[in-house]
Structure 1
Amino acid sequence: MKVLVTGASGLIGSYLVKELLHQGHVVVGLDNFSKYGAARRGTLGDPHYRLVEGDARDTDLVAKLLADCDHFVAGAAMIGGISYFHTYAYDLLATNERITAAACDAAIRVYGDGPLQKVTYLSSSMVYENTDFWPSREGDERRIPPPSSSYGFQKLAVEYFARAAWDQYSLPFTIVRPFNCVNVGEERTVGQGEERSGDIKVATSHVVPDLVQKVLKGQDPLHILGSGAQVRHFTYGGDLASGICSAIFHPAALNEDFNLANAEPTSILELAERIWHKIKGDDEPFRCTTDEPFEHDVQRRTPDVSKARDMLGFTATTTLDEILEKLIPWVRQAIAEGRL
């Protein structure tokens, strides 16, 4: 199969490309490197992969790349952690709407005239931002109040685009909602600058690498946003890539939506303490203090993962401890090299 992946050099896209190639597929990636800059301009050196530098809002370009592809993963978006989508509240909404419309327009244009079978859309756990009951099940996003953040609202719009393109143009779809992706390799975000947390500056906008940076840089007590009672399901990028691949190719995924996540809940306070002891050792008492949280700091994101398990056979198997064992050495080296 030949697969077009937009946002191919992003946090999830880079893992997805590797997994697709590992499974023997031919991949075309599209990215404008607007988030990570030159750090992501390299290629994997795989003869079955072509990385195109371009704008996912360019409908003609997307349609041209899609013309001989069997599948399309619409993954391009402005995306980041909580500070990122407060910094770029309008740009996220405006840019991502144009990216989504271009993806759908291009797919509608070529569908039926070539081999394209389906579009797989990357949504987000933030569609459940305003729920007050858990676990969040597929379908709840249409029964609860819409998200308050512009990022969450736009990700919900992605799902409406997917369903509307099916309703009017019979364009097949699958929707996937990754929860709290944690990857090795997250670099500085272009344009955002560094965030100050107490006496430390951090260069990313996701909680796990941020906490790792602060402990490695000697922050004591460790600063966390909010009370620390917030609950997340941290999911390794490689697991998410496997789940997305299952959703792309599994026949049961046609016109369906899936939560993709690690089933293990972790509070931010528990996460912070675990990182502290992994770096400093079990004998060093954990010390932390809390900072004022951002406005849209969702207190709980807990998914029901049974649909992906039962229909796709997908389970995220990498534990949080295993994720940290991969991430901590990478962040330590990145700090030493001045990349974080």
Structure 2
Amino acid sequence: MTQKILVTGAAGFVSGYLIPELLENNYQVVGIDNYSKYGKVSKSFDDHPNYHFVEGDVKDTALMYDLAADCHQIVAIAAMIGGISYFHEFAYDLLAENERITASTFDAAINAFQHGRLNKINVVSSSMVFESTTTYPTPEGEERRCPPPLSSYGFQKLATEYFARAAYDQYALPYTIIRPFNCIGVGERRSCQEKAIYSGNVKLAMSHVVPDLIQKILKGQDPLHLLGEGNQIRHYTYGGDLATGIRLCMENEAALNQDFNLSTAKSTSVIELAEIIWKKINPNKPFQWVADKPYQYDVQKRVPSTQKAYSVLGFKANTPLESTLDEIITWIQEQIRVGTI
């Protein structure tokens, strides 16, 4: 029997990789989004016969009840989300709005589990739940041992995980918690809500490090402006790999009531990343950079343990950073040409 999946935040960045992955694997997909992040966008899969899109607000619980009633699983992605500047500019809204989104989603999931055919909710959390850890590589379970996140965004993402566990404890709603680490790829745009932030002489695109470094270099910034000293450690994971990992979390019975870090195992510092991008775009120019004042919640180190996802799901993020960057550079070049960045 073909499974029907409800994906919230269907017009967003991660869904741009996940929904094609699901459609290619013969799922029926219902997507919901209110276009609040980027405005109205078109997707390559909009006209796919197994895809149905609903323009609506996930906080509309009655609508969510209707959509979830005949779905087998939910992938809960919808959230206010942005780059590092976003965490500061919308500190309260990130907490309040995302709690409303989460509560509405879980209310609908519990109802569909009790009265419909829903058999699981998949909650897309964040590596920011580990914001305060000092344990590296960071394993699943550390989010309950380390101090809570300091940013309201990280704290709220941790709350989504508590929603999942609480709904299981009280209502036996099965779940899987999914933690992406620095997903990168094409399709990100400037948020409609974000103010213009300048880094040197260039207005940032998303306050996400990869697209912003690329567009600054493409626009000729020299020396390149970095937030801080560039020693922040990240694990840049290709969106296509993440989509495969989410699908495996949905399909594997061993993922029931479990949590998984989905990430490449490779660490890369921001300065290393910047130099790789620089050499791809400016192969004949010396790499020069300057340090700008970093943001308060610019976590210095995010290094996940990827062993559980590999041993339980067989998941491994195999796409090299260099080839992903080639794809993103080409995409951003086109966006600059047409004026969206």
Cα distance, 1:85 vs structure 2 = 1.6
2:314 equivalent to 1:285: no
Counterpart of 1:179 in structure 2 is 181
Q: Which amino acid aligns with 1:173?
A: Y
Q: Secondary structure at the match of 1:96?
A: helix
For 2:125 and 2:266, the matched residues in 1 are separated by 21
Counterpart of 1:30 in structure 2 is 32
Counterpart of 1:203 in structure 2 is 205
Q: Is the 8 A contact 1:220 1:287 kept in 2?
A: yes
The equivalent position to 2:114 in structure 1, one of 105, 112, 135, is 112
Q: Which amino acid aligns with 1:195?
A: I
The equivalent position to 1:245 in structure 2, one of 242, 247, 253, is 247
- Identity percentage over the alignment? 56
For 1:193 and 1:43, the matched residues in 2 are separated by 30
Q: Secondary structure at the match of 1:37?
A: coil
Q: Which amino acid aligns with 2:34?
A: N
Counterpart of 2:123 in structure 1 is 121
Counterpart of 2:137 in structure 1 is 135
For 2:164 and 2:196, the matched residues in 1 are separated by 35
Cα distance, 1:39 vs structure 2 = 2.6
Q: Secondary structure at the match of 2:86?
A: helix
Show structure 2 runs of 5+ residues with no match.
Answer: none
- Render the CA deviation track for 1:101-135: whole Å, top value 9, x for unaligned: 11111111121322211000010000000011201
For 2:193 and 2:119, the matched residues in 1 are separated by 37
For 2:319 and 2:197, the matched residues in 1 are separated by 29
Q: Is the 8 A contact 2:36 2:192 kept in 1?
A: yes
Query: How do 1:223-302 and structure 2 match up within 5 A?
Result: 223-281=225-283, 283-302=284-303
Q: Is the 8 A contact 2:122 2:175 kept in 1?
A: yes
Query: How do 1:85-164 and structure 2 match up within 5 A?
Result: 85-164=87-166
For 1:110 and 1:72, the matched residues in 2 are separated by 10
- Render the CA deviation track for 1:282-313: whole Å, top value 9, x for unaligned: x3210000000000000000000010001001
For 2:253 and 2:43, the matched residues in 1 are separated by 34
Q: Is the 8 A contact 2:20 2:45 kept in 1?
A: no
Q: Which amino acid aligns with 1:227?
A: E
For 1:8 and 1:198, the matched residues in 2 are separated by 34
Q: TM-score, normalised by structure 1?
A: 0.98
Cα distance, 1:194 vs structure 2 = 2.4
Runs of 4+ in 1 over 2 A off after TM superposition: 39-44
Q: Is the 8 A contact 1:7 1:76 kept in 2?
A: yes
The equivalent position to 2:85 in structure 1, one of 83, 86, 102, is 83
- Render the CA deviation track for 1:259-299: whole Å, top value 9, x for unaligned: 00011100000000110000011x32100000000000000
For 1:61 and 1:209, the matched residues in 2 are separated by 35
2:306 equivalent to 1:308: no
Counterpart of 1:330 in structure 2 is 331
Show structure 1 runs of 5+ residues with no match.
Answer: none
For 2:304 and 2:258, the matched residues in 1 are separated by 16
Counterpart of 2:63 in structure 1 is 61
Counterpart of 2:340 in structure 1 is 339
Q: Secondary structure at the match of 1:315?
A: coil
Q: Is the 8 A contact 1:43 1:51 kept in 2?
A: no
Q: Is the 8 A contact 1:120 1:248 kept in 2?
A: yes
Q: Which amino acid aligns with 1:46?
A: H
Q: Is the 8 A contact 1:193 1:203 kept in 2?
A: no
Q: Is the 8 A contact 1:117 1:172 kept in 2?
A: yes
Shifted more, 16-25 versus 43-52: the winner is: 43-52
Cα distance, 1:63 vs structure 2 = 1.1
2:169 equivalent to 1:167: yes
Cα distance, 1:193 vs structure 2 = 3.3
Cα distance, 1:44 vs structure 2 = 2.4
The equivalent position to 2:195 in structure 1, one of 181, 193, 196, is 193
Count of residue pairs brought into register by the alignment: 339
